[in-house]
Amino acid sequence: MSFVFHSTENIEQNKKVYGLSLSGFQFKMHYKILNKLRKAGALSKDSAVTIIEAELDHQEQMWLDYFAGAFLGKIKKTEDQRYYIQ
């Protein structure tokens, strides 16, 4: 079993950036998905990409709707199942 310890400073920094504290795993998944969407060029609704175009793995796909919902509001989903960063 492993434990992740966060300094108070890092937790406070995350709260300022995201408005709340994320667990280390959530933060890592959000970061990975954002990076893949950026790499795929999904920086607006017009340039939104599919999960295949973003090359998201299965685990990232499972988290995508969670992050694309109201959670952080940075990742958006189009009506035709494409994703982009706002």
Q: What is the mean pLDDT of residues 11-15?
A: 49
Range with the poorest average pLDDT among 19-23, 26-30, 48-52, 64-68: 19-23
Residue 55, by phi and psi: left (phi above 0), alpha (psi -120 to 50) or beta?
left
List, in sequence order, every beta strand (DSSP E) within the chain: 75-77, 83-85
Q: What is the mean pLDDT of residues 44-68?
A: 94
